[in-house]
Amino acid sequence: MPQIRVVNVSKRYGSLTVLEHVSLNVEDGEYVSIIGPSGCGKTTLLRCVAGIIDPTEGEIYVDDKSLVGVPPEKRNIGYMFQEIALFPHMNARENAGYGPRVRGLSRRRVRTMAGEALEMVKMSERSEDYPNELSGGARQKVALARAVGSAPSVLLLDEPLGSLDASVRLSLRMELRRLAKELGLTAIHVTHDQEEAMSISDRIVIMRAGRVVEVGKPQNLYLDPRQIFTANFLGEANFMRARLMATGENGAILDVGGEELNIESRTVPRDSVVAIRPQFIRITKRQVEGSGWRGKIAEKTFLGDVVRFQVNLENGFKITAQMPPTAQDVDADVGDEVSANFQRDKLLTFPCPTEGLEKELSAW
Amino acid sequence: MRCRCGLLRTLEKYSSSKRIALTIYVSSVIFFVAIIFLPPLLGILMKWPSLFQMFETPDLLARAQSAIVASFAIALAISVLDLIAALPLAWFIARQTSKKYASVIDTLADIPFIIPTVALGYSVLLFWGREGAGAFTGNALVSPGWLLIVLLHFAFSYPVVVRVMVGALQDYERTLETAARTLGASPLTAVRTVSLSVLKPALVSSFLLAFSRSLSETGATVMVAGVFENGTVFIKNASDAGLVSPLVFVSFVLIATSTLMFMIIRILGPRLRIPVSKVWPHLEQKLSDRGAVRTRDLLTIAVFAFFVLVPSLFVALPGGRALTDGTVGQAISGFGVWSTYWGSVALSYSVAICATLLNILVGLPLAILIARRRIGSAACTILDAAVNIPIVIPSIAVGVSLRLFWGGYTGIPEFWLLVLAHLTVTNAYFVRSMISAFERIPPELEEVARTLGAKPLTVFRKVTIPLAKYSMISGAVMAFTRSVDETGATLAVSKELKTAPVLLVEWVKATVPTSPSTIGLGVSVLLLTSFASLLVFKLAARRSF
Amino acid sequence: MPSIRLISVTKRFKDNVALDRASLNVRSGEYVCVLGPTGSGKTTLLRVIAGLTQPDSGQLLIDGKSVDEMGPEDRGTAYVPQQYALFPHLTVLQNVAFSPLAKGYKKAEAFEIARKVLQTVKLAHREGAFPSELSGGMQQRVTLARGIASGARLLLLDEPLGALDARLRMELRTELRRIAKDLSLTAIHVTHDQKEAMSIADTIVVLKDGNIQQTGSPFHLYQDPASIFVSSFVGGSNFLPGVVVGIEGTNSLVELRDGIRIRVHQRSHRRGEPVILSVRQELTILRNHADEKENAIPGEIRGTSFVGDAIEYDVELDNRETVKCKVPSYYVSEGSLPFQTGERVFVTIDPHDCNLYSEPPLGLAKELEAF
């Protein structure tokens, strides 16, 4: 199964640049997600790999063979669309067997392959149904069967779950990964839903304004992002300006709005931005001699599996904290005075962005 | 704005009333059924006994039968040929990456559509005759007869197919085609196995339109038929000879068979499966590559140019000659045949205006009724089909029927008889255009407008009409130009009044002595006035809303 | 701020029952989310209230008065449909001024009102733009502004954030609530996304196949889901079939497959009755060791999935059932996860954290079918 290499691909439409010098490697059998804000170019990149769009510059290699000038029908790929795009005049079985059929295989072979594909997605019972008789989730399963039915080596998915209900998305996303792994396919999955990306990918590619920001394993990108955009786009984070006060053997001391913060050592610039995710903050009802920063609860929201607090800190910053309903002091209420404690190993520091924090975090 | 406010406000208050809305809808349906739908069908039936008279004259019967068969054979042939020839051009236009290039070809493809058919007829006659393609041999390449009819019908149905298919292609979601290609289908295979099936309704509808136009066309066909007779020519000849029963017979058969055929295709069409099971991957891949595509495009454009475009514009030659040989002076001074010409032009346009206004008045409520399914789905489908029937029937048969139906009421002046005939024949163009315009407007928009406090009339004025205005204009224009163009029904209905196309047919058939440059000028003037009125409409559209 | 009351409203379309005797009470100023899967009848419910669909039976009262005879233009509702909401041929300002103009205000006044409302949604600077020039998020804000400018006191939102990407949805949903609260509007917001509902609703109404399954605050729905459907739809739950084998005071003793027994703080079923035990994934706690007293089931971790704010573990219990356990990522220490695939663990459940339901007539699998 192939290795996919995207080398310095750019795509321009007149004066509009959609992709800029994008390079990417996907290993054999890997399941990679590409996420990013709307308009970041992720779908364009996928279409370049599929051959639906030709890049203005750059090359794409599959197993070291260049795909320049190779039309989509010769690339041996399976593609899934956000709009699902099942052929309305064919039933599920005919849709699933379309790939083998247009490759000229015998009618018997086509039937067998279609049957197997539908079996893999557990849609055999609905093989005679037409798309307009199936629900959204069922249709997407048939589309998956169709995509893998022609035995491709690469699976490309363009927001495949975007048009489905939240609950259906949840159950279908694992199916995608399961099938890809079972068949040993190399997969690239474009989505704007980061939870979806994190739960099923081996690695995630973060894109922004036509460029790749960062690539890594979900866990690493989440716990140890190298770029400030990643820290904000993947999950959420509280950001605070900081100034270096002193460095020592065990770490550094930062001045954050007047409060002191000990962080584990890393090369910390003089002006930096400190980030901490809401779920790595613990709120405790104020004690006399407590560590942590003091503040007052401005808002409290119950979300079921978590409780969120908006806390106005005394150092001027406003932060969001998130705790499970089983945590201690989760019964603190709006107006209460509390202490906010951060998990030290989860604190992140970034150099202060030259164009300003807000610009750096925005989609463009 | 202020003085109208009071009236508008009262109107709006009443528009909420369900009863008022119902009255408007019901009256338009009654008008439609009583004035537009039934008379063409009943008129013929009133002369039922004359049908049997035909069986007593076997020669006449045989002649009638072969005329009818000829009509259907020609219509079938050109519909198929047009689909084959025009579809690639529509594809070329719709898929063209350069917008300018596409719009140029698109406009050119529209020309035969805009030219009045009598002009087209004369133009085609000349092109294939001694002065045109036959210039090298000194003889006409194709003389008046069935072949010339085929060439004529091919030319004027061609733009219809292009128009319908371009519209369908532009609406069509290319994602399905892209999906097919990612699954390994070459572009040609993808189109054949996926796109064509999805575009089937448009294919069926363009086939039907081409077919019914061919079946129905009278004026130009008469010009190029020579001694050959198809259905409409036969009816005209019978009408000239004053024979009633062959008239009724052929009209009846034409009406019955075309209605039947239309309904069958409407019902069966969607079920027809385009043969797609066989796939030839290697061959189709080869046919999809750039060289093959370029060849195909060139061939398509060549066919279009030689068989459609140039023949349509050929009348410019004698028209141009007329400028130099003094015919223009005769025309302006009303000399000789020209004295009746200008009166005919005026008549054509006044009939067209009246018919179009009536169309808008009656057609709008009808279109709303059908598009918004106000009276239940089944009733709407029936009404929708009923609206289409008057144009499926050959217009000369309609004219015959109307003459018979209204003929008893001597009080009706011929002018209004003409207006009624034109109304019948053009109604469907306007209504159909409005139906698709209304169907395109998402009902949610109108619903939201109501929740925002707008009464139904306000919603109609401020939301529906602005969004449908282009279709309304183009529907009205289509009805108007069709009316100016109309020959068949006009020939049958009017005995004294002559509209411009009818007059020109007489000139060509040399029932009145004229010269080629006279005819050329007469035809060209009609052409120019058509273009001018089109332009006026377009400008008016831009201003009024 | 109107209050709304639906009394046993039913609506059928051909052979599909969109609403089945739905009854609902919305207090004035409340922000209500109607939650349910596609096809559950949520849009129909909204359209009935707006007056765009006539119910077959039942009553609808707005502020205590029956509105059955009133057309949509007189009900004082601002209806925001799922798509195609803005008039494409009008500018932003003209769109927002549509309602005041339709209601008879003079042009100058209408535009004045429109401008003020556009300020509220922070789009005053785009008043001359056409809808096609705006992004999805902006279009939705203009639609909202247009509804507000109508002076409506009742906001009816049909999946208002459906077409937007995940990030934008999160940002805009709090905006919606803020605007509704600031302007003292009563709001009914339809969605299929339970996270959305949980985060902004005062009350959630769960709808399935035209039936209202439960009405309550997010907290209430989370703690005490009335049915298996609500339990699985709102937040994720584990479901384990079993039989009640004993009742002690307010507790029931439930025996699962292979004899594993769990004590549940609920007394709702008789001894011998087959039941389904449900417990939230985040309340299915993993431990390395177990005490005697706790409900502790031994098992082995079969799969690990890091999803950001939590780690999802697929655990195969020793009785061959599988459960999903959500462990907050707070417990990740120095980059390593608290538990690894292949580890032997104990799954513990607090008796107060589980719920018992009767076995569904068609079986558990059918009941949980997402599609």
Per CB-CB distance under 8 Å, the chain B contacts of A147 are: 182-183
- Within a domain: C370: no
Same domain, C147 and C36: yes
Residues of chain C numbered 120-149 and touching chain A (CB < 8 Å):
135-136
Burial class (CB in 10 A: 0-12, 13-18, 19+), A16: exposed
C251: β partners: C248
CATH tag, A4-230 = 3.40.50.300
pLDDT at B128: 87
The chains in contact with chain A, meaning 3 or more Cβ pairs closer than 8 Å, are B, C
Q: Is A291 on the interface with C (CB under 8 A)?
A: no
pLDDT at C26: 93
Same domain, C174 and C115: yes
Domains and CATH numbers, chain B: 18-48+339-545 (1.10.3720.10), 59-314 (1.10.3720.10)
The answer to whether A233 contacts C235, with C-beta atoms less than 8 Å apart, is no
- Is this structure's pTM higher than 0.90? no
Contact B451, C46 (CB under 8 A): no
Per CB-CB distance under 8 Å, the chain B contacts of A85 are: 173, 175-176, 178-179
Tell me how long chain A is.
364
B183: nearest CA partner in chain A: A99
The parent domain of residue C196 ranges over 4-229
A205: β partners: A34, A215
Q: Is B447 on the interface with C (CB under 8 A)?
A: yes
Q: Residue C52's CB: how many other CB atoms inside 10 A?
A: 23
Which pLDDT tens digit goes with each residue over C236-291?
889 999 999 989 888 889 999 888 888 999 888 889 999 999 999 988 889 888 77
The answer to whether C165 contacts A38, with C-beta atoms less than 8 Å apart, is yes
pLDDT average, residue stretch A68-79 = 90
Query: What are the structural domain ranges in chain A?
Result: 4-230, 236-352
pLDDT value at C21 more than 60: yes
Domain with residue C54: its CATH number is: 3.40.50.300
Nearest CA distance, C104 vs chain B (angstrom) = 9
Which pLDDT tens digit goes with each residue over C283-306?
888 988 877 667 889 999 998 989
Tell me how long chain B is.
545
Which pLDDT tens digit goes with each residue over C169-214?
888 888 889 889 988 899 999 998 888 999 999 999 999 888 999 9
Q: Is B445 on the interface with C (CB under 8 A)?
A: yes
Q: Of all residues in chain A, what percent carry a pLDDT higher than 70?
A: 98
Contact A216, A203 (CB under 8 A): yes
B545: nearest CA partner in chain C: C89
Q: Residue A139's CB: how many other CB atoms inside 10 A?
A: 24
C329: nearest CA partner in chain A: A279
pLDDT at A237: 92
**Euclidean distance between CA atoms C25 and C21, whole angstroms:** 13
The answer to whether C78 contacts B16, with C-beta atoms less than 8 Å apart, is no
* Interface predicted TM-score (ipTM): 0.84
Which of the listed residues C229, C245, C265 is the one where a domain comes to its end?
Answer: C229
3-state DSSP assignment of residue A272: strand
Q: Residue B231's CB: how many other CB atoms inside 10 A?
A: 30
pLDDT at B13: 65
Concatenate the DSSP letters of all residues of B477-525 into one string: HHHHHHHHH--HHHHHH-SS---HHHHHHHHHTTSS---HHHHHHHHHH
Which pLDDT tens digit goes with each residue over C22-32?
999 999 999 99
For chain B, list residues with pLDDT below 70: 1-17, 273-277, 374-375, 408-410, 511-513, 540-545
Which pLDDT tens digit goes with each residue over A4-52?
999 999 999 988 899 999 999 999 999 999 999 888 899 999 999 999 9
B468: nearest CA partner in chain C: C89
Which pLDDT tens digit goes with each residue over B381-390?
788 888 888 8
Residues 6 or more apart whose CB falls under 8 angstroms from that of A71 comprise A51, B181, B186, B187
Per CB-CB distance under 8 Å, the chain A contacts of C370 are: 137, 165, 167-168, 170-171
Phi then psi for B101, rounded to 5 degrees?
Answer: -60, -45
C198: nearest CA partner in chain A: A303
Q: Which of C13, C69, C79, C91 would best serve as a mutation to test chain B binding (most B beta carbons within 10 A)? A: C79
Q: Is B103 on the interface with C (CB under 8 A)?
A: no
Q: In chain C, how many domains are there?
A: 2
Same domain, C51 and C71: yes
Which pLDDT tens digit goes with each residue over A4-15?
999 999 999 988
Contact A211, A22 (CB under 8 A): yes
pLDDT at B8: 67
Per CB-CB distance under 8 Å, the chain A contacts of C280 are: 305
A235: nearest CA partner in chain C: C308
3-state DSSP assignment of residue A144: helix
Residues 6 or more apart whose CB falls under 8 angstroms from that of B526 comprise B116, B118, B119, B345, B484, B500, B501, B504
Q: Which of B17, B372, B374, B451 would best serve as a mutation to test chain C binding (most C beta carbons within 10 A)? A: B451
- Within a domain: C371: no
Q: Tell me if the domain spanning A236-352 has CATH number 2.40.50.100.
A: yes
Residues of chain A numbered 30-49 and touching chain C (CB < 8 Å):
37-38
Domain with residue C298: its CATH number is: 2.40.50.140
Q: Residue B186: which of A73, A81, A88 has the nearest Cβ?
A: A73
- Within a domain: C246: yes
**CA-CA distances (angstroms) from residue A168 to B176, C228, C370?**
24, 16, 6
- Within a domain: C36: yes
Which of the listed residues C229, C256, C274 is the one where a domain comes to its end?
Answer: C229
pLDDT at C371: 45
Per CB-CB distance under 8 Å, the chain A contacts of B281 are: 102-104
- Within a domain: C124: yes
Same domain, C329 and C207: no
Nearest CA distance, B26 vs chain A (angstrom) = 35
Which of the listed residues C210, C229, C248 is the one where a domain comes to its end?
Answer: C229
Nearest CA distance, A150 vs chain C (angstrom) = 26
The answer to whether C88 contacts B467, with C-beta atoms less than 8 Å apart, is yes
Amino acid at B134: G
Burial class (CB in 10 A: 0-12, 13-18, 19+), B107: exposed
Q: Is A280 on the interface with C (CB under 8 A)?
A: yes
Nearest CA distance, A340 vs chain B (angstrom) = 48
pLDDT average, residue stretch A248-263 = 82
pLDDT at B392: 76
Inter-axis angle of helices B338-371 and B377-392, nearest 10: 160
Nearest CA distance, C124 vs chain A (angstrom) = 21
Residue B245 vs residue A80, higher pLDDT: A80
B277: nearest CA partner in chain A: A101
Per CB-CB distance under 8 Å, the chain C contacts of B447 are: 50, 52, 72, 79, 81
Which tokens belong to C58?
């039942």
Q: Is A98 on the interface with B (CB under 8 A)?
A: yes
Which pLDDT tens digit goes with each residue over C57-115?
999 998 888 888 888 888 888 888 887 679 988 999 999 999 999 888 899 999 999 99
Per CB-CB distance under 8 Å, the chain B contacts of C51 are: 450-451
The answer to whether C198 contacts A302, with C-beta atoms less than 8 Å apart, is yes
Q: Residue A199: which of C136, C305, C335 has the nearest Cβ?
A: C305
Alpha helix (H) residue ranges in A150-292:
166-182, 194-200, 218-223, 228-233
pLDDT at B542: 62
Same domain, C245 and C303: yes
Q: Which of A46, A83, A84, A101 would best serve as a mutation to test chain B binding (most B beta carbons within 10 A)? A: A101
**Euclidean distance between CA atoms A164 and A84, whole angstroms:** 10
pLDDT value at A133 more than 50: yes
pLDDT value at A298 more than 90: yes
Same domain, C216 and C144: yes
